[in-house]
Structure 1
């Protein structure tokens, strides 16, 4: 099979979209498929033996390390040259919209992978009036896709409520070797918490959309040491808010494996996660999780079993949940013992096999029927009735 992946981001940017695309490319390479990637910015020329085509991009003024792609003739010409059997749209927004148009012109089915909560992102940056426009744009893209894959049950329900058709659930895998309790380091723990404190850790981007300012709610909890891993535009202000925390900066590879496994409690502050890979990696490392009861964590965190959930709009609820686990060693140990087993079935191998089956299914379906609106005006999108969805989808 020949798969063209059009992604809103790729290396050297490290985020959930990039991580998923890399794992998919590795799986396609291991199983004898052909692939290529079109992505914004200055990406490497190849990955897993497949070519990468770069398109124009600009930096967000409030988030200089984040590049946003621009429409480009490179997308159409790259797909024409590659002649894919299926087009994979990774978190389609701007570059993905051009990829959708190119796929339709080539008569090739497109599988759109929904991954980023753009509405929640916009709200966190003060653009609260943009909800309607964003959903209209997302419908414009996704109603032309042969299938949209949602990462979690909460996201799937939200997409369905906003008129996105032909939905199926496709989660995210986790590397069970890289994220493993065996990487726990007592020497590293002693470095973080020399007085034997309970190590409470956060891993992720330090940005407003992750609500990392809420970590300040934990600053004065007795008997804990807060450890922050990651970087981003909110790093400087967060250092001022929690001056006694340990800031590790961006860490990857073996360093990240050891740091994460050495936490006693993992806390996640975001409330707009469509999946939340960081939560899943913490669970794989045997660390109980405290997360907001919203989005992807609802599928991952089982309260009282492998962690605790707090109301998404309650910073005090987050503080209370962390304080409870920090003071109750028996509860931590019980939840830690359950954490890894709760995600053992979520391997990248099994998830990528599911993805290939989605490719095969849309290729077998009547693509012409599913893209009959491709020549309508972009905003004149007809929202299909749910009863029109293929069997097995929403």
Structure 2
């Protein structure tokens, strides 16, 4: 089987979509399934034999993603040469449109995946008036797909209510050999000058849709009597970083983006992972923290609420309510035994979320869609 993937973000971009697709591409290669990826050219030097890149510019609202300008003649030539059994469109922008166009034009079975709730982003950029137009476009864009893979039941239910069809769950796994609790706590804490303090960590894009205002309000409102007992670690980058650093308390450290073992080490040495984002379709960072044996305090919203078992692996808090997050953190501070039991339960859950099992199921769905497409083509 040969798969062509069209996406407007790909490795080494630092977002969940890019990382998920790189994991998928690696899995396909390991199982001798040919894969060709069409993606924007980025400022990085990353190249791969199966990666076809196009000139691109950063998106205004989302600089980490890029608006590409695919050369249609090149795409057609590449597809004719590769002769894919299936096209997978992962994003609804220019390259995604290109993939959908050629699937129809060349009569190639077409599937897609839904990764981002752009509608939820709108209010954080004062663009709510675009919501109905966005949904019209998203409904039109996804209507030709034989299958539309979604990352969580929350997203599946939401899209069903919007009239989307052919939905299928494609969850996410976690590499528990990379993300684990056993990194050297002493050296990690020395690196970030945390000492013996409790370490509260956030990891993700520093942007309005992550609702970091709630996190900053929590940091400012925790009682002064306990401020010396903990330190904040903010992992990531984005358009809000400068603003956040300007208002940050003295016990808050910004690291920029981390990846690989350095990121895994941070999860491992942290006492609590704090994640206020209400806009996640899944929440990869939450699962990574749980795999690292770290309790999670997060918004009871989106795909995240299906990962965290309230009171068992962490606490689900009212979105946008600093008092709810503050209450959960104080409970953990005052009950150290909870940190250990929740961390252990989170790790046990993460161990069941295996990438190989999840991607094997996706490939079976690919085969079903490709075979169904062949039957239609020759009917």
Shorter-chain TM-score above 0.5: yes
State the partner residue of 2:238.
232
1:291 to 298, 322, 325: 298
Residue 306 of structure 1 and its aligned partner are, at CA, apart by 0.4
Matched position secondary structure for 1:331: helix
State the partner residue of 1:10.
10
Q: Does structure 1 conserve the Cα–Cα contact (< 8 Å) formed by 2:147 and 2:166?
A: yes
2:355 to 343, 348, 352: 348
* 1:334 and 2:341 matched: yes
CA distance in 1: counterparts of 2:282 and 2:188, whole angstroms:
29
* 1:66 and 2:65 matched: yes
Q: Does structure 2 conserve the Cα–Cα contact (< 8 Å) formed by 1:92 and 1:112?
A: no
Matched position secondary structure for 2:179: coil
Residue 186 of structure 1 and its aligned partner are, at CA, apart by 2.3
Aligned pairs (5 A) from 1:201-240: 201-220=201-220, 221=222, 222=226, 223-240=229-246
Residue 366 of structure 1 and its aligned partner are, at CA, apart by 4.7
Q: Does structure 1 conserve the Cα–Cα contact (< 8 Å) formed by 2:37 and 2:52?
A: yes
State the partner residue of 1:271.
278
CA distance in 1: counterparts of 2:75 and 2:46, whole angstroms:
15
* RMSD value, Cα: 2.0
Residue 125 of structure 1 and its aligned partner are, at CA, apart by 1.4
Gaps of 5+ in 1: 371-394
Residue 104 of structure 1 and its aligned partner are, at CA, apart by 1.4
CA distance in 1: counterparts of 2:209 and 2:359, whole angstroms:
28
State the partner residue of 1:376.
none
Matched position secondary structure for 1:183: coil
CA distance in 2: counterparts of 1:194 and 1:293, whole angstroms:
29
Of 318-327 and 14-23, more deviation after overlay is shown by 318-327
State the partner residue of 1:388.
none
* 1:122 and 2:118 matched: no
CA distances 1:194-244 after superposition (whole Å, capped 9, x unpaired): 563211000111111212222212324223211111111111111112142
State the partner residue of 1:27.
27
Residue 271 of structure 1 and its aligned partner are, at CA, apart by 0.6
CA distances 1:245-301 after superposition (whole Å, capped 9, x unpaired): 011111112211111110000011211100010001000001010111111111100
CA distance in 2: counterparts of 1:351 and 1:144, whole angstroms:
24
State the partner residue of 1:242.
248
Of 121-130 and 181-190, more deviation after overlay is shown by 181-190
Residue 98 of structure 1 and its aligned partner are, at CA, apart by 1.8
Gaps of 5+ in 2: none
State the partner residue of 1:174.
174
CA distance in 2: counterparts of 1:82 and 1:287, whole angstroms:
44
Of 57-66 and 198-207, more deviation after overlay is shown by 57-66
